[in-house]
Amino acid sequence: MEYQEILAKYADMPGGMIEAFHAIQEELSYLPEEAIVQAAQVFGKPVAQAYGVATFYSMFSVKPRGKNVIRICESAPCHVAGAAEVVAALEKELGISMGSSTADGLFALEFTECVGQCQGTPVITINGKPYVDVSPAKISGILAECK
């Protein structure tokens, strides 16, 4: 992929590196090393600083992962409401464990902190879209929306 085109769109924008990383990750689901190195050049920053941006924010990943990123809240309200059962159902349905991606590259499972939807625990997000009041019985239907 030609990262220069994406990076150039944000080169003169305040906070442009973060915006460029969002755009690259939207295309690939992660930030490849080459993209981070090129971002450092485009934004006139040391490579270490570009890596710092890419690894500081939890929404970025520097490892390849599935296209549909499923995150489950691990805060206390979700835990009490049955998040562990939802995790088990996701892992069983997808055939992977938390922190992994499916072999076909469609799904990744990650934990996250509170997503601000405590009125409907347990909560998962798929590519940022929240699903509230999730139960193991709802997992198949939710995943079918993404296939």
C-alpha dihedral over 51, 63, 106, 129, to 10 degrees? -40
Helix (H), strand (E), coil (C) string for the chain: CCHHHHHHHHCCCCCHHHHHHHHHHHHHCCCCHHHHHHHHHHCCCCHHHHHHHHHHCCCCCCCCCCCEEEEEECCHHHHHCCHHHHHHHHHHHHCCCCCCECCCCCEEEEEECCCCCHHHCCCEEECCEEECCCCHHHHHHHHHHHC
> Is the domain of 85 the same as that of 105?
yes
pLDDT digits (tens, 9 = 90+) for 112-147: 988 889 899 999 999 989 999 999 999 999 999 887
> Is the domain of 139 the same as that of 72?
yes
Share above pLDDT 70 across residues of the chain, in percent, rounded to a whole number? 99
> Is the domain of 20 the same as that of 76?
no
Has residue 111 got a pLDDT over 80?
yes
Write out the residue range of the structural domain in which residue 134 sits. 68-146
> Is the domain of 112 the same as that of 82?
yes
> Is the domain of 24 the same as that of 52?
yes
> Is the domain of 141 the same as that of 73?
yes
pLDDT score recorded for residue 8: 93
71-76: average pLDDT? 91
pLDDT digits (tens, 9 = 90+) for 14-41: 889 999 999 999 888 899 999 999 999 9
Model confidence band, residue 51 (pLDDT cutoffs 50, 70, 90) = very high
| Number of domains comprising the chain | 2
> Residue 27: which of 55, 7, 12 has the closest Cα?
7
> Is the domain of 113 the same as that of 137?
yes
Domain of 79: which CATH number?
Answer: 3.40.30.10
pLDDT score recorded for residue 87: 96
State in Å, rounded, how far the first CA of the chain is from the last one. 24
Has residue 54 got a pLDDT over 90?
yes
Has residue 1 got a pLDDT over 80?
no
Model confidence band, residue 93 (pLDDT cutoffs 50, 70, 90) = very high
